[in-house]
Amino acid sequence: MESKIKEMLSNDEKISLSKICKDLEISMIQVLREAPTVKKYNIEKIDELFEILRGWEKVFLLVVTPNFVLEIQDKFPKGFYAHGFLNFHDKETSIGGHLSVGKIKEIFLVKDIMFGRESYSIKFFGEDEKEIFAVYVPRNEKKELIEECLESFKKL
């Protein structure tokens, strides 16, 4: 499967990972595990990752369910651990909630194509091999990737 994914990416530089999923009839997590444009992030460094994200001007947070795609652009929130969750309560951002960090099993650093443009994201997957949420390198008013955030992403 890895060789098929590599071949598809090399034959079409504008193909998205989701198109590869559909064409090969495999799950997104299978593609992420084998695509050369994806790196796995050490789950044990998740708190360090969240601290890095708090340093970004803003993030583009995406939560996808079967019936709803939630998109929020704002500063990544500060959080604290209590009652088995990482609780995001930060007056400096509209992003809030409660994350069961222990349920996150894999984190991927993803370079992809979205709507014909390069896209960079951090995808968090759970025990069920489904995406919990993703944080994308944000874009400015001109729809260009914010350079400082992109450079930070590339250092991960």
How confident is the model over 98-137, as pLDDT tens digits?
A: 999 999 999 999 999 998 899 999 999 999 999 999 999 9
Report whether pLDDT(17) > 90.
yes
Report whether pLDDT(68) > 90.
yes
Tell me how crowded residue 108 is: count the other CB atoms within 10 A of its CB. 22
pTM: 0.94
Per domain, the residue ranges of the chain are 37-155
100: its two tokens: 């069961």
Interacting residues of 111 by C-beta distance below 8 A, sequence separation 6+: 37, 38, 118, 119, 120
What superfamily does domain 37-155 belong to in CATH? HemS/ChuS/ChuX like domains (3.40.1570.10)
